[in-house]
Amino acid sequence: MSMTRRIPWMKYASASNFYPLADRLVPIFMGLALVLAVIGLYLGFVVAPIDYQQGNSYRIMFIHVPAAWMSMFIYLLLAMYAIISLVWRVKMADIMAYSLAPTGAMFTFIALLTGALWGRPTWGTYWIWDARLTSELLLLFLYLGYMGLYSAIPDRQRASRAAAFLAIVGAVNVPIIYFSVIWWNTLHQGSSFSFSEGASMTDAMLYALLLMALACWAYTIAVVLRRAQALILERKKVALWASQISKK
């Protein structure tokens, strides 16, 4: 009995180590995010030169591109955690996956919104059903579906497994988004940024983009850690109740 009793607590041990660590990390990353974002926005909106084709409207890129990147990265991360939680049943992985989802959904939404706003001046329409845009919209639905399914199933264990499964199945979508501009001949811009060819844009634009991307990362880390802390607390309460009822 005492042997087996230890199992859940060992799993929580990692969570209880995590808690104070997160407490220290959250403010650091939040501050980092702020600083990076301020510098990045300054470079992007003030220093970077005006585009000879698009005028000033291209500056929306400094939000659009990092947000689009984040939307995909976060999904991949979520799917990875989902695999870990489904296969090895590590509870912390499930908590991380669930904490990532809202932020991922937010970045997806931002990418869609800024993309649509950008599309109006450049393509003359807010929306077309091209492969990249459609698959990005699908990504938003996947995030929403993941969260919806998670909260719809009242049993947490089953909820986490079902939602994790959905996340993994949905991961097929990410390569489709990424390679859609290569596989299909679409309206959306191809990759203008690659390390081998060097930059096809000015240094200021490049740095602004990179700084904004880093800022998004720092923000994501801070917010996700905070959310994970809240979830751990909530589940501790459940565990406490469970031990109480077992003693009955």
Partner 1 sequence: MLKIEGLAVEREERLLFSGLSVSLSAGEGLHIVGENGAGKTTLLRVLCGLTLQASGSISWCGQDVSVFREEYCSDLLYLGHKNANKTELNCRENLRLALGVLSVSDEAISDALHDAGLGLISHLPTRFLSQGQQRRLSLARLLLTKSKLWILDEPYVALDYKAIDWLDSHLERHLKSGGMLILTSHQTLTLSSKIRVLNLGEQHA
Partner 2 sequence: MHKMLWALFSRDMTLFMHRKQDVVTVLGFFLIAVALFPLGISSDPELLRTIAPGAIWIAALFSTVLALDRLFSEDLDDGTLEQQMLMPVPISLMLLVRLIAHWVITSLPIVLLAPIMGLQFGLAFNEIVILTLSLLVGTPILVLLGAIGAALTVGLKSSGGLVTLLLLPLYVPVLILGSSAVSSVMNGADVTAHFSLMGAALIISLVLSPFAVATALKITLD
Which residues would be at the binding site for ligand HEM (CB under 6 A)?
Answer: 61, 64-65, 68-69, 111-112, 115-116, 118-119, 122-123, 132-133, 136, 177-178, 188-189, 191-193
Going through the chain in order, the beta strands assigned E by DSSP cover 193-194, 198-199
- Residues at the site binding partner 2, with contacts judged by CB under 8 A: 129, 134, 137-138, 141-142, 144-145, 148-149, 152-153, 157-158, 161-162, 165-166, 169
Please report whether residue 197 would count as binding partner 1 according to CB under 8 A: no
Amino acid at 238: V
Chosen from partner 2, ligand HEM, partner 1, none, partner binding at 141 (C-beta under 5 to 8 Å by type): partner 2
Nearer to partner 2, 138 or 214 (CB): 138
Q: Work out how close the CB of 185 gets to partner 2 at its nearest, in angstroms, rounded to a whole number.
A: 12
Q: Show Cβ contacts of residue 87 under 8 Å, excluding neighbours closer than 6 positions.
A: none
CB 224 → partner 1: shortest distance, Å?
23
Yes or no: say if 186 and 180 are a contact pair by the CB < 8 Å rule: yes
Amino acid found at 202: T
Read off the DSSP letter of residue 45.
Answer: I
Nearest approach, Cβ of 51 to ligand HEM (angstroms)?
Answer: 11
- Cα–Cα distance measured from residue 228 to residue 233, given in angstroms and rounded to the nearest whole number: 9
CA dihedral 212, 213, 219, 221 (to 10 degrees): -160
Does 50 bind partner 1 (CB under 8 A)? Our answer is no
